């Protein structure tokens, strides 16, 4: 059903909902954190690659992928951070590296902010973990009262278009189906809509202070000069060049690669180029 995704499904019970994750390989831990509207399937090739000599944990946030999708859950940045932190503690993770994409940047870095001394390396893929007031109109309309929820949940107007708008190379049909399979109904698109609503653009938003805390955590990573690899799709209409430049400015020691002809789903468009970079980056010590 999910091509190139042969991993054993594992579940962690939070009481109100079960979170799905995969835990593959052995060795130093790499945690992969997806965004909206993807799920751990986005990392399938990277999981296979890095699990050869690492322990790779890739989660599906509550409401996403193969995790439960409760209708009355508080889908907030803080809850997603807390869930990931709780899971890593339950899995006995002592130290870890991160791979983050889209919303995974704020969520993963939110966990890292609590455990700066435990973070070993970071691979950044078209994401943000700092404040910005920039939002494309096509995303902002999905936040409008009533209309936004109808578009996203009723007409699949967010996850659906992403399979073509987030790439520059057409997805194979079975791959596109796998991306969309968990989001096949009004109920199952609850978190897709909630993630859009939870974008904290201005003070007063429920997740704005959480994002400030995440951003402050980046300063600790800057000071400690945690090794960072940035691989960026240049044709991302949302996380555009300004976000890439911000990461490079904040982390001048980072190894930076800008794939001019790749989209937001940079692992779909440029995996062949990113794979050797990621393999080498995570095999280094110190």
The answer to whether 163 and 144 have CB atoms below 8 angstroms apart is no
Burial of 136 (0-12, 13-18, 19+ CB in 10 A): exposed
> What is the pLDDT averaged over residues 210-232?
94
The answer to whether 265 and 166 have CB atoms below 8 angstroms apart is yes
CATH architecture designation of domain 10-283: 3-Layer(aba) Sandwich (3.40)
> What is the pLDDT averaged over residues 55-69?
98
Phi-psi region of 7 (alpha: psi -120 to 50; beta: other; left: phi over 0): beta
The angle formed by the CA atoms of residues 30, 35 and 36, to the nearest 5 degrees, is 160
| CA–CA distance, 109 with 93 (Å, rounded to integer) | 16
User: What confidence score (pLDDT) does residue 134 get?
Assistant: 85
User: What confidence score (pLDDT) does residue 286 get?
Assistant: 66
Find tokens 């190894």 and name the residue.
255
| CA–CA distance, 273 with 260 (Å, rounded to integer) | 12
Find tokens 């949302």 and name the residue.
238
| CA–CA distance, 40 with 59 (Å, rounded to integer) | 6
pLDDT over threshold 90, residue 138? no
Residue 121 burial (CB count, 10 A)? 17
The answer to whether 96 and 118 have CB atoms below 8 angstroms apart is yes
Find tokens 């002809």 and name the residue.
261
| CA–CA distance, 106 with 280 (Å, rounded to integer) | 25
The pLDDT tens digits for 8-26 are 999 999 988 999 999 999 9
The pLDDT tens digits for 153-206 are 999 999 999 999 999 999 999 999 999 999 999 999 999 999 999 999 999 999
Residue ranges of domains in the chain:
10-283
């Amino acid at each position: 059903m999910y091509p190139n995704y042969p991993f054993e499904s594992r579940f962690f019970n939070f009481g109100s909902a079960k979170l799905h994750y995969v835990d593959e390989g052995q060795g130093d831990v790499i945690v992969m954190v997806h965004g909206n509207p993807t799920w751990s399937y986005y990392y399938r090739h990277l999981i296979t690659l890095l699990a050869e000599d690492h322990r790779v944990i890739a989660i599906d946030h509550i409401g996403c992928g193969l995790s439960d999708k409760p209708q009355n859950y508080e889908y907030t940045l803080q809850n997603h951070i807390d869930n990931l932190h709780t899971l890593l503690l339950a899995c006995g993770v002592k130290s870890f590296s991160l791979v983050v994409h889209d919303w995974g940047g704020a969520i993963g870095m939110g966990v890292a902010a609590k455990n700066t001394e435990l973070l070993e390396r970071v691979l950044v893929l078209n994401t943000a973990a700092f404040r910005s007031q920039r939002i494309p109109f096509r995303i902002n309309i999905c936040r409008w009262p009533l209309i936004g929820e109808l578009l996203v949940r009723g007409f699949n107007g967010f996850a659906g278009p992403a399979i073509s708008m987030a790439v520059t190379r057409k997805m194979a049909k079975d791959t596109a189906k796998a991306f969309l399979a968990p989001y096949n109904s009004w109920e199952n698109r609850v978190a897709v809509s909630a993630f859009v609503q939870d974008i904290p653009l201005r003070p007063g938003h429920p997740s704005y202070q959480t994002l400030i805390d995440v951003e402050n955590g980046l300063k600790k990573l800057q000071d400690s000069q945690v090794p960072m690899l940035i691989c960026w799709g240049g044709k991302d209409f949302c996380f555009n060049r300004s976000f890439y430049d911000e990461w490079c400015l904040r982390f001048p020691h980072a190894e930076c690669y800008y794939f001019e002809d790749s989209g937001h789903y940079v692992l779909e468009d440029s995996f062949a180029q990113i794979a050797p970079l990621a393999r080498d980056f995570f095999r280094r010590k110190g």
